[in-house]
Each structure stands twice: as C-alpha cells, then as structure tokens.
Structure 1
Amino acid sequence: MPATRRHWPTGSSNRRAGTRLGSLWRPARRRSCCTSSQAPVSACCPEERVVFEDLFDAELAPMVRRMAERTREGETADGPQIRAMVWQALVRLGATRLRLPAASGGRSASQEDLVSAAEELGAALCQGPLLDTLTAVELLLAPGDDRLLDEVCGGAGVALAVRADGAASPSEPGEMVVAEGSGAGEITAERCFVGYASEVDHLVVAGRAAGDTRVALVSRAHPSVTLRRHQELGRGELWRVRCQATPVLAWLGGADEWAGVVAGARRRQAGYLVGLSQSALDLAVAHATRRRQFGQPIGRFQSLAFRLSELVARTDAARLLTRAAAAQADRGEDARLTAAQCLATAADLARVVTAAALQVHGAVGMTDDSDAQLCYCRAVIEALWWGTPTQLRAEAAPLLRAQLSA
C-alpha cells in the first residue's frame, strides 16, 4: 500500500496544535521587555523566548516541518495559507526584530543569539525567508533607513538574489548593470536559485557593476521583475529572478559590507544545518528505540549504537564551532575564516547525519510519509546554500595562511 502524504494536520492532537499556531498568529498584548542592549535574547526577554521555543516544541515541530513542504506534484490548496500563518507567527514573536536595538523595539540580539535562533528553525525544518530577512535587516541598519527597516521588521519578507549560475560562490556575486536615473537608479540582472522569491516583498540583489560589488534593494512586485520556478527535489522552492531596468529602493553597501553579510549568513546557515542534523539524529534514535529485532530494540546493537554515538559527538562539535564563530563576531573580530569553517563542517555533517538516519529507518525511511527522507532532501539543498564545502575551504585557505603568517 502506498504511503499517504501528510499536508494539513488531521486528528485531535493535530487540531490542538493548529489551534495553538493560530493563537500565536493572532495579535496579542505586547510583553514588557528590559532595555539592556547587552543582554542576550534568553536573558533579555525570557517570556518571549519561551513562546518562540514553543512554536517549535515536540508537538508543533513535526507540524511546521510538513507545513513548509513544497511537493513535487505541485502546490496544495492550503499550502500558501499555512506558510503565511507560520510566517506571521514568527513576525509576531519578534523573530524579524532580533537585531534591532532594544530602544527601537528590538531584542539587541547578538550573533550567538541569531545562531541559536537559526538552530531552532533547522530543528523544525522550517522553510521560509526568515534567515534572508535577518540578513537584510543587518544591511538596512547601516544606512539607517527607518522606513524600509520598519517595513521589513514588520513582516515584509526579503529574499537574497546572488548567484548568476549554479556553480558560482555567493561571495562572488554575478554581473549587474546599473543605470543612473530618477531616484536611486535602476538595475538589470538575472539570478538563479533564489529561495522563496514568490513569498517575499523585497529582493536584495548583489552584483558586480563596473568592477565594484554593489548591493541593491528592489521591490519583488514591480512589473519589471519576473520569476520562473526551478524544478528541484528538495521539497523546497527555488526561483530564477530577472530584473529588467528595475528601480532601486535603496543601496545597501559595497564589497566590504557584502563580505560581512556573507560571513553572518554563513554562521546562521551553519546553525540551521546543526539544528537539521540534530532533528535527523533525534528521529534516528527514536526509531532505533522503537524498532525491535531479535527481542530487543535495534539501538542496543553495538554497531548501530556506536554509529549514533559518533554522530552525537560530531553534532556537538559542529554546534560548538558555530557558537565560537558567532562569539568571535560579537567581539568585533574578523570572522570570515571561522564562518567558512563552521559552515563547511555543518554542511558535511548534515549530509552524513541525514544519510545515516535513512539507513537506521530502513525502507520506511524512504517513503514520503517519513520525516527522515524530508530531512535528507533538505540537507542536500541547504548544505550548498552559501557555498559548497569545496568553495568554502578554497576561500578559507588564504584567510588561514594570512592568520598564521600574522
């Protein structure tokens, strides 16, 4: 009998989870928050932190995981509405305002806090534009455009459009034509593999113009912006985006700013992959505990137990490396090297752990009804999002040589 696909939840427990998600989405009284700009999220806003974690608890995390799924056969009727509810719940819980100063209604979150938040997203396999939006907020903080910053933090999603082709590294954006005109000018560029472009309000387009790297913010809804969806098997959503003489809303920086943006995005992506790996590992351990053979759980067999123990140690190591990279950035040091190192480590880990989770599950793990195959499909895509491990190591090598020779 073919496995049934789960989309919108059914059953009494799932209905309760849906009700809880709806309660998070509806407006509620604003909680008080301390104004210390030095306190981390967990210390600054403990009540908000609890609610943010509650969105991805043991009951809701599997639900959110399936809510974000894009099917190979096409969009389901309730898919966009479900993902919009998840996005609005995240916005209401302050996820888009993490980097804002407390005086501006934000959380004054550190880089380590952002990595921790990304890890929670990865553990729930929550897909969407939140990580790109957080990157856009960091870019908008520099020029101090309060109108655009308030719009983005208020729920206007942003997607990063960087790659001109699939082989390019995000640290080296493709060519972009800039035409001076009314306002901030216009850009013409084509980018591929842009995540969730159909669900956002703005695009951050990075490119090289006249030998310099420039970063532009444009409206996704402008008639000059066209989208075409890529076909991919990762149960996500990737788009080819073409901007033809598209008006620029704001310029967000140059080469120096982009290098910092790439480093920060890589740290958060590493955190996401660590969370994804932990989720796949938890699924494998749970199955090894339930599945019995020869009168005992298969997790008691030494070959499997040793393999899972090894993956636990590797996951903890990747988590510590990612936190160390974030702490280095919080100290104001050059964190490009550690960002590349932690992402390369987390990317390798995600593919290894999710493949091992499939092996532990056996044939059932490859069915559409199993979350193990969903973790594996997403790991293949997410591991390459900000550069392949080969590209990351190639970029890290000169930085490491410079560090050793200093």
Structure 2
Amino acid sequence: MTTTRVHALAEFLDPDLTAMVRRMAYRPRPDNGSADDNPAIRAMIWQGLVGLGLTGPPPDTAGPAADGAGPAPVADSPVGGHEELAAITERLGAALYQGPLLDTVTAADLLARGGRDLPGDGGVALAVRADGAASPADPGAMTVDPTTGGIHAERRFVGFATEVDHLLVVGTTDDGPRLALVPRDHPTVTVRRHEELGQGELHHVRLAGTPAVWSADGSGWSRALATARIRQAGYLVGLARGAFDLAVAYARERQQFGQPIGRFQAIAFRLAELSIHLDAARLLTLDAARDADQGRDTRLAAARCLAAAADLARTMTTEALQVHGASGLVNDHDAHLFHRRAAIESLWLGSPTQLRAEVLPLLREQLR
C-alpha cells in the first residue's frame, strides 16, 4: 500500500538519513566514559516522524462488529488504517529505526479507546514485562495505592524510557488488568539501563507510588497487543528486507574466480529461496492488517504473522552474515547490526515459541 504518509516517509528516509538512523542504534554508556553524540539526531528524527503524523492512533472504529468478534470495520480514511501502518513499519524496519514510535502508536490506540489523546508529542514507552522471560500477553503485577492512587510496579526491558515523557504501565491488579499513564521524570520513577546485545536502549523501571496522569481498565490490552504485533511483524519484514538487500548488493559486487559470487548457484539459489519466504511473511502481515481493518478478531492472525516474521528476521540476518563472510562480522558493519537487532526485535512482543503457545487455545476455539 502506498498512501500519502507512506510516500512521505519514503522521501524522509532518504539514503543519507537512513544511514544516520542505523547508526542511532549505537548507544554509548555514560558510566563507562563514553559520550553519546546522537541525542540531537534522535530528536530531529523524532520531530520528523511527529511532523509526518505517525504518532497518532489507527483510525477509530464505530463500535462492536455485528458478529461480536471485534470492532466494526474501519471507515474510509486517508490514513489507510492498519494496512498502512504495516507498510510504514516495514519501511522503518528496513531503515533499522530505533525509537519509541511503535510504543507511542500502541499507547495512542489505548488512550483513544478511553477517549483521551496523547499528552503532547514527547512519546510514550510501554512498560509491560516484570521479567525477561515473560510474554507481553501476561503483564506483570501492579499495585494501586488505595489512598493516593499511586502506582507501584517493577518493569524490565522498557524500550527508550529516557527518550519519552510518559510511561504506559500495563499491569495485573487484584481487580484485574489495569492501564496507567505516568510521567517518566517523576521523582518516584527509577530508570536503569540494561545491557543488551542489540546495541539499542532497554531499561529497568521501578515505580514507587507514582501518580497516574490517566488510568483505566486494561481489558482492551489483548486487542491492542494483537494490532501492535501486526505492526511489529511489519517492522521485522522490513528488517529482513534490509538485510536481504545488503546480501544481494554484496553478492553482486564481491568477485571470486573472476565473477560476482552471486553467480554461484549455492548463493543464488539460497537468495532466491529467501526472497520467497520474504514475500510470504509480508503477505501474511498485510492479510492480518486487512483483517484488523475489517474489524475481525486478529489475535490468531497477529500471532501467526509475527511468529513467521520473527523466524524470517533471524534466518535472513544470519544468511546475510554468511554471504558477507568475515567482513560482515565487523561490529560497525550494517550486516552485523541487522543480525544483532533481529535477535532483540524478534522477541519484542512475544517469542515465536510464546506466540505458538498462545495460538493453541485460539485454534481450539475455532474448531468448536
């Protein structure tokens, strides 16, 4: 799908800026004497994405569908709905964008369902996991102080927490699931950076009685997570496509025995096979996005397309390293960076194993 926003994003992410975006993934740690010289670049790119109108929620729905399976179909809209968002995240994945945009879109979706808008343009990070092994489908414990309403929770692997103005905490309380939007810079919020092999930015966050700007029942998290997974699948398809393009370009340039290595059958056939898997994952993702735009229950389709895209991203980036040989193993090589990011992004909204486990009860429901 090519809409006005998709076309504008393609123009914004020109080759020069894409190179800068990929380098943004390198996050020097201030506590080891390194200086982070990228905050101005990250701020400029964030403002560009905000200016393109990419931080808002998907088009609103008109209420429950007639069959009760989900929301009503998305009305005709110039922004194109979930299918357009999948196309947008695919371009971001190919550029290896690192930042709070996808979390912000999910937060905007949840807030819109509660009749609220995003509080400004500062971005929102989702705080869901209590530990690294947890699936985002099972949010960690959260306690709400009965007197003050303050939020008590501990969350790990919160992306880009220091770059946003607010955290959207998704949690499980004694009264059921709950959402709470809290200011990130409040004195009761403690943020500590994790080490992670993808050279991105993940944080350990503690809330000790943090006042909530907005709070609501969290029963809509399952639906919001499904559409977020479709967007993440689009991102992973784009990431895989970026790694594939690197491998193809290198196979055309690298000479051995007087000819490009791409002419050798072992490499040519493998790249051809990977291109088929890439198309298949992309079609699965777009099909799930169209289901979301039609108001269908997308939990099964979202888990399916995300598991396929995650597996593809890991396989594709590994193959790209193989094609590049020793040169791809250098830390500052793009093929190396794609491989590192795939290791993190493929687990971000549920590992393939977790997703397939979630699918089993959904399949049983369909077979009844």
Q: Which residue of 1 aligns with 2:242?
A: 279
- State the shift of 1:211 in Å: 4.8
Aligned to 2:363: 400
Aligned partner of 1:156 in structure 2 is: 122
SS at match of 2:196: coil
Q: How many angstroms does 1:244 deviate by?
A: 0.3
- Cα displacement (A) at 1:62: 2.1
Match of 2:74 in 1: none
Deviation readout 1:182-215 (Å, 9 max, x if unpaired): 5xx2110000000000100000101110051111
Partner residue of 2:182?
218
Letter in 2 for 1:326: A
Unaligned runs of 5+ in 1: 1-39
Q: Write out aligned runs for 1:290-301 (5 A).
A: 290-301=253-264
Tell me the distance in 1 between the aligned counterparts of 2:203 and 2:252: 40
Judged with a 3 Å threshold, the aligned counterparts in structure 2 of structure 1 residues 171 and 75 are, in CA distance, closer, same or farther, namely farther
Alignment of 1:201-216 (within 5 A): 201-216=165-180
Q: Does 2:47 match 1:88? A: yes
| Paired residue type of 2:83 | E
Q: Which residue of 1 aligns with 2:18?
A: 61
Q: 2-side partners of 1:50 and 1:274: how far apart?
A: 18
Counterpart amino acid of residue 99 in structure 2: G
Counterparts in 2 of 1:227 and 1:63: CA distance versus 1, 3 Å: same
Contact 2:6 2:84 (C-alpha < 8 Å) held by counterparts: no
Does structure 1 conserve the Cα–Cα contact (< 8 Å) formed by 2:229 and 2:349? yes
1:267 match: 230
Q: Is the 8 A contact 1:341 1:392 kept in 2?
A: yes
Equivalent in the alignment of 1:331: 294
8 Å Cα contact 2:59-2:81 kept in structure 1: no
Shift of 1:51: 2.6
- Across the aligned residues of Structure 1 and Structure 2, the Cα RMSD in angstroms comes to 1.7
Name the SS of the counterpart of 2:138 in structure 1: coil
Contact 2:56/2:109 (<8 A) preserved: no
Aligned to 2:70: none
The equivalent of 1:197 in structure 2 is 161
Question: How far apart are 1:294 and its partner, in Å?
Answer: 0.5
Residue identity opposite 1:85 in structure 2: M
Q: Deviations over 1:58-82 (max 9, x none)?
A: 3332221113432477754421111
CA contact (8 A) 1:68 1:83 kept: no
Task: State the TM-score, normalized to the length of structure 1.
Answer: 0.83
Mapped to 2, the partners of 1:325 and 1:395 lie a distance apart of 16
Change beyond 3 A, Cα 1:334–1:306: same
Superposed, which structure 2 residues align to 1:71-220 within 5 Å?
Answer: 71=28, 76-97=35-56, 99=58, 108-145=79-116, 149-152=117-120, 155-181=121-147, 185-220=149-184
Amino acid at match of 1:352: T
Contact 2:128-2:170 at 8 Å conserved across structures: yes
Q: Is the 1:111–1:326 contact (alpha carbons within 8 Å) kept by the matching residues of 2? A: yes
Which residue does 1:321 correspond to in 2? 284
Aligned partners of 2:108, 2:145: CA distance in 1, in Å? 25
Percent identical pairs in the alignment equals 56
Deviation at 1:49, TM superposition (A): 4.0
Give the CA deviation at 1:261: 1.2
Query: Using the alignment, how far apart are the partners of 2:6 and 2:280 within structure 1?
Result: 25
How much does 1:269 deviate? 0.6
* Counterparts of 2:6 and 2:262, CA distance in 1: 34
Q: Within 5 Å, which residues of 2 pair with 1:27-42?
A: 42=2
Please list the CA deviations of residues 335-358 of structure 1 after superposition, one character each: whole Å capped at 9, or x if unmatched.
Answer: 100100111101100000000000
Q: Which whole-Å CA distance do the structure 1 matches of 2:250 and 2:145 have between them? A: 57
Q: CA deviation at 1:364?
A: 0.5
Give ranges in structure 2 of 5+ residues lacking alignment: 61-76
1:228 alignment counterpart: 192
Tell me if the contact between 1:98 and 1:109 (Cα under 8 Å) persists in the aligned partners: no
1:359 is aligned to 322
Offset, 1:249: 0.9
Q: Equivalents in 2 of 1:49, 1:271: separation in Å? A: 13
3-state SS, counterpart of residue 9 of structure 2: helix
Q: Deviations along 1:118-148, whole A, 9 cap, x unmatched?
A: 1111000000000000001101111212xxx
Whether contact under 8 Å (2:93, 2:238) holds in the other structure is: yes
Distance 1:236 1:208 in 2: 28
1:365 maps to amino acid: G
Q: What residue in structure 2 maps to residue 36 of structure 1?
A: none
Query: In structure 1, how many angstroms separate the alpha carbons of the residues matched to 2:347 and 2:190?
Result: 24
Q: Sort the Cα spacing of 1:108 and 1:287 in 2 relative to 1 into closer, same or farther, 3 A.
A: closer
User: Contact between 1:139 and 1:252, CA under 8 Å: does it hold in 2?
Assistant: no
Q: Which residue of 2 aligns with 1:8?
A: none
Residue in structure 1 matching 2:203, options 239, 253, 260: 239
Q: CA deviation at 1:150?
A: 4.9
Q: Distance in 2 between matches of 1:309 and 1:211?
A: 52
In structure 1, distance between residues paired with 2:111 and 2:302: 21
